[in-house]
A and B are shown apart, each in its own frame.
Chain A
Amino acid sequence: MPLNGLFSDHFSPGNCGAASAFLFQGSADLPIRTGPALPLPQPFSLAAIMPSIISVANLSKTYGSGFKALKNVNLDIKRGEIFALLGPNGAGKTTLISIICGIANPSEGRVLVGGEDIQTSYRKARSLIGLVPQELHTDAFESVWATVSFSRGLFGKPKNPAHIEKVLKDLSLWDKKDNKIITLSGGMKRRVMIAKALSHEPQILFLDEPTAGVDVELRKGMWEVVRGLQQSGVTIILTTHYIEEAEEMADRIGVINKGEIVLVEDKTTLMQKLGRKRLTLHLQNKVTSLPESLAHYELELCDEGATLVYDYDTQGERTGITSLLGDLRTAGIRFNDLDTTQSSLEDIFVDLVRTS
């Protein structure tokens, strides 16, 4: 599916009607990361002084069919952060996770987890990781308790019923512990998979599309669980289609498209750096055209002349709002209401994917 088509509802340049979906005018200096694997110091960034818990260097993956799923990926995940990996379908998110977790072999490159090479020191590397895959892969006829205990054993940990109990209670699965998995709902199965991933007390948790097909209430519950995990010191890497989810949860955001990392940035910095605001003025009287004195503003008349729209950069030295309002008064254009909206992460994401 062409990306433009996929996201066209949100990406609508010049569409006055969709106030929340105004165009983010691509910034000239997107912080595209192509440098070395080890993190470069970033001033004033807490992330920079925290050591990487995952370090991906020059990673490529070519499938037997010749399809290049990953192209020279470099990425560092900081200890204790929530990192959201965004990308359209088929961008390489799951392939990247699969390689880090040992499910797929890389074609080229190197991955360190907790300083351990995932190939030469796979035991140490993998024991740090818990993985919740995208698909609901479960053993239908096992009980919840048995399957979660099995996962703990598989990761070489001694039995610890108290820990399993805590995990199941945290995920509201305790009263289902003796149920066969086949009898559970989709949302419960998803939580069983999270419980399995947490059974061996991992330091890193991969959540591949954790809330796909999960209703809104449950999704918010899941976010609470994830936040709780972060507070307990677990590093979380999540992939998602729901931009809202990344915006809500993530400390840092990575965007991957066509097997390449397009951008890695602190979420707040990203929002500031790439965010634009839109001022909408509701005019007292409709105007058909704007006077010459306003020509140098990038203004747009909408709703048949009933509203005036002005996009501006929040990071700019001057937003131009004050002079615009002055010039409007001089030109005799009055308004009875105004509102401003800020570009969402979704707008930013859509634009990045489109331009890459």
Chain B
Amino acid sequence: MNHRAIRAIYLFEMARTWRTLLQSIVSPVVSTSLYFVVFGAAIGSRISQVEGVSYGTFIVPGLIMLSVLTQSIANASFGIYFPKFTGTIYEILSAPISYFEIVIGYVGAAATKSIILGLIILATAGLFVPLHIHHPVWMLAFLVLTAVTFSLFGFIIGIWADGFEKLQMIPMLVVTPLTFLGGSFYSIDMLPPAWRSIALLNPVVYLISGFRWSFYEIADVSIAVSVGMTLAFLVICLVVIWWIFRTGYRLKN
């Protein structure tokens, strides 16, 4: 195991985060605060409680997930796409480092960044609404699992993309709609039965449901199904990454 190489990549990526602090941390925090002001205070005050929780409090886990998902994908995809774009990837590919170690470095840094971001948003939310976390360990577990899984997904997008447009396409056209329709702002029980069945095809529903359960013990689907679905997505991403490195797809050909 070339642990020094993992450390080098990890620290390099984290250094990029600190260099772009405003863009990396401050802007997601500001936009999330705006959500609280609009949905929590302005509109939320006119919405009745959802399953015994005030609306402003109810949307906290969904909002954190929204940021963690999008930031994980953005961080990891940019992290690996940029060296491809500038050409500095040559050094990573010619170093005595395994694919697994490359992934740990890049995905580890991307996930770390979005976990930190998730916790900052959680703390920000505490300023707006009263919060009580029933299962803090599960909450952290879901946070880490989601950050890692979607950083892996972002890594795949970063390898696949051969232009900045493609880099933006999946997050914009697929992930954001899935997150908004995945129950960030509502319980899928609030949907008509037909839409409810369709919503269950959305993988993000399971992430948000499980995460919300760790806060308030209210969930759209059972916690076991949530964990199972997240792990399944993790495994799919790992298999795709294994295939990418085995074939050298978009990297070595």
Q: Chain A interface (Cβ within 8 Å of chain B)?
A: 63-64, 101-105, 122-127, 129, 131, 133, 135, 137-142, 146, 150-158, 196
9-residue interface stretch from B48-56, B91-99, B109-117, B166-174: B91-99
What distance in Å separates the Cβ of B209 from its nearest Cβ neighbour in chain A?
A: 40
CA distance in complex: A117, B244 (Å): 22
Contact B2 A123 (CB under 8 A): yes
Contact B96 A124 (CB under 8 A): yes
CA distance in complex: A338, B2 (Å): 66
Contact A153 B96 (CB under 8 A): no
CA distance in complex: A156, B5 (Å): 5
A123-B2, A126-B95 as given contacts; A154 in contact with B90, CB under 8 Å: no
Contact A137 B252 (CB under 8 A): no
CA distance in complex: A64, B253 (Å): 7
B4 at the interface (CB under 8 A from A): yes
Q: Which of B9, B90, B98 is most buried by chain A, counting CB atoms within 10 A of its CB?
A: B90
- Chain B stretch 1-22: residues in CB contact (< 8 A) with chain A: 2, 4-5, 7-9, 11-12, 15, 19
Contact B12 A150 (CB under 8 A): yes
Interface of B is mostly: helix
Q: Which of B5, B87, B91, B93 is most buried by chain A, counting CB atoms within 10 A of its CB?
A: B91
B248 at the interface (CB under 8 A from A): yes
CA distance in complex: A104, B248 (Å): 8
Q: Chain B interface (Cβ within 8 Å of chain A)?
A: 2, 4-5, 7-9, 11-12, 15, 19, 86-88, 90-98, 248, 252-253
Contact B93 A103 (CB under 8 A): yes
Contact A131 B90 (CB under 8 A): yes
A to B CB contacts below 8 Å, 5 in the list: A127-B96, A154-B8, A155-B96, A156-B5, A156-B97
What distance in Å separates the Cβ of A126 from its nearest Cβ neighbour in chain B?
A: 4
Contact A138 B4 (CB under 8 A): no
CA distance in complex: A77, B7 (Å): 33
A63-B253, A150-B8, A153-B4 as given contacts; A137 in contact with B88, CB under 8 Å: yes
CA distance in complex: A133, B94 (Å): 11
Contact B86 A103 (CB under 8 A): no
A124-B96, A127-B96, A156-B4 as given contacts; A137 in contact with B253, CB under 8 Å: no
Q: B95 to chain A: which residues have CB within 8 Å?
A: 126, 154-156
Residue of B nearest to A64 (CB): B253
CA distance in complex: A126, B93 (Å): 10
Q: A138 to chain B: which residues have CB within 8 Å?
A: 86, 88
CA distance in complex: A288, B139 (Å): 101
Contact A104 B253 (CB under 8 A): yes
A153-B5, A158-B4 as given contacts; A137 in contact with B94, CB under 8 Å: no
Q: B252 to chain A: which residues have CB within 8 Å?
A: 103-105
Q: B248 to chain A: which residues have CB within 8 Å?
A: 104-105
CA distance in complex: A123, B98 (Å): 8
Q: B15 to chain A: which residues have CB within 8 Å?
A: 142, 146
Residue of B nearest to A139 (CB): B88
Q: A146 to chain B: which residues have CB within 8 Å?
A: 15
CA distance in complex: A140, B83 (Å): 11
Contact B2 A137 (CB under 8 A): no
Q: Which of B7, B9, B19, B97 is most buried by chain A, counting CB atoms within 10 A of its CB?
A: B97
CA distance in complex: A150, B19 (Å): 16
Q: A64 to chain B: which residues have CB within 8 Å?
A: 253
What distance in Å separates the Cβ of A154 from its nearest Cβ neighbour in chain B?
A: 4
